[in-house]
Structures are given as structure tokens and as C-alpha cells.
Amino acid sequence: MRFTAIISTLVPAFASAALTYNITQALAPGEFGKYHCLTTAKWNAMIPACVRQCQIQANKGDGCAYDDFACHSVNYQVFSDIIELCVFPPSLGGHGTCTLAELGAARPLVQDMGNFFNATLYAAYAGCPIKLSPLKTLGIVAKEQAKVTY
Ligand SMILES: *[C@@H]1O[C@H](CO)[C@@H](O)[C@H](O)[C@H]1NC(C)=O
Ligand SMILES: *[C@@H]1O[C@H](CO)[C@@H](O)[C@H](O)[C@H]1NC(C)=O
């Protein structure tokens, strides 16, 4: 492929990385309480068992502080590559053990949590005794367009 063709193939992929969130969903009753001071241990109790080891691996491996879900959510491009390979079964190109039913159960949970933290960033971590990595998070956010829905 010619260099210019490579560039024009890559640019749209980067340009399309957007901080996406639905405000109505993020601010719905119960959301703040559900995610207040969220840690990996707390989150792992909410998701299917087959995902838990992969969640730990991805939370350790994406460059964010381990328990910083605002960072993991905003860092989805990096985070998702790690966790998808780990949870997807070989039929979906991964080396994981989750069944399609388990992945189907996990999907709305992951979507809701990611949506919440994309929308609120550190609001639910105010005063929590948890090590966070806001500079990394804000560095990513600063480079993205926001795609906000209601
Ligand atoms: C945003 O979330 C609300 C509540 O979950 C939902 O009713 C609405 O359809 C969503 N909006 C969009 C554009 O998806
Ligand atoms: C959160 O934002 C990231 C980009 O910062 C995006 O890749 C991800 O899909 C978003 N998550 C949700 C649930 O919209």
C-alpha cells in the first residue's frame, strides 16, 4: 500500500475515537450509588464469573490506576483489546472461556458502567480512598470529541 493510502486508512480510525455517553442513562436513579467508589473487587462481584480474571488482567494492563474505572472507561481503545481477547472464546477470535450467553449478560453491564464513567468521570470517586490516575484520563479526554446523547 502507498504511504498516503495507509495514512488515509488510519486517520479516520483515530478521528472516530469519541468520548461517548448518554446523559439520561448516566444520571438515572440508582446509578451514582451503584458506582460510588467503584473498585475492581466491587465490580467483579457484579459481572459473570468468566470475566473476572480478565477484568483484573485488563485493569492491570491498560496503563490506568488499577481501580480507576473512569480511566478504564475512557481508555476503552486500549482496555477493550486486552479484555476482549481474554474473554472471547476461540470462535470469536479470543482465548477465553465465556459462553455467548455469559457475554450477552455482561454486555449491558459493561455498557452501563462505561457510559456512567464517560459521562461523570471522577464525580463518583470524590472522597473515596482509592488510587486514581486522573492525568492519564484527562489526557485521553482532551484529544477526543464528545458524542453526547440524551
Ligand atoms: C439515552 O438513555 C435513555 C435512558 O436509558 C434512553 O431512554 C434513551 O433512548 C437514550 N438515548 C439514546 C439517543 O440512545
Ligand atoms: C467511553 O468513551 C470511550 C472513548 O473515550 C469510547 O471508546 C467508549 O466506547 C465509551 N463507552 C461507552 C459505553 O460509550
- Look at residue 72 in the predicted model and tell me its pLDDT: 98
- Look at residue 90 in the predicted model and tell me its pLDDT: 97
- Look at residue 65 in the predicted model and tell me its pLDDT: 98
Residues in contact with ligand 2 (CB, 6 Å cut-off): 17, 19-21, 73-74, 76-77, 111, 114-115, 118, 144
The percent of residues in the chain predicted with pLDDT above 90, rounded, is: 89
Report which DSSP code applies to 66.
T
Query: Going by C-beta distance under 8 Å and a sequence separation of 6 or more, which residues neighbour residue 147?
Result: 18, 19, 20, 21
Is the Cβ atom of 20 under 6 angstroms away from ligand 1? Answer: no
Q: What is the pLDDT of residues 42-69, one digit of tens each?
A: 999 999 999 999 999 999 999 999 999 9
Q: What is the pLDDT of residues 64-107, one digit of tens each?
A: 999 999 999 999 999 999 999 999 999 999 999 999 999 999 99
Q: Pocket of ligand 2, candidates 76, 78, 117: which has the most ligand atoms within 8 Å of its Cβ, to mutate?
A: 76
pLDDT over threshold 50, residue 38? yes
- Look at residue 17 in the predicted model and tell me its pLDDT: 82
Q: How far is the CA of 93 from the centre of ligand 2 (A)?
A: 22
Average pLDDT taken over every residue of the chain: 92
- Look at residue 2 in the predicted model and tell me its pLDDT: 57
Q: What is the pLDDT of residues 122-141, one digit of tens each?
A: 999 999 999 999 999 999 99
Q: Pocket of ligand 1, candidates 24, 27, 115, 118: which has the most ligand atoms within 8 Å of its Cβ, to mutate?
A: 24
Q: How confident is the model at residue 1 (pLDDT cuts 50, 70, 90)?
A: very low
Q: How far is the CA of 150 from the centre of ligand 1 (A)?
A: 6
- Look at residue 4 in the predicted model and tell me its pLDDT: 52
Contact at 8 Å (CB) between 51 and 98?
yes
pTM, to two decimals:
0.90
Determine how β-strand 145-149 pairs with β-strand 18-22. parallel
- Look at residue 12 in the predicted model and tell me its pLDDT: 47
d(CA 95, CA 76): 20
* Ligand 2 atom showing the smallest separation from residue 117 Cα: 1
- Look at residue 127 in the predicted model and tell me its pLDDT: 98
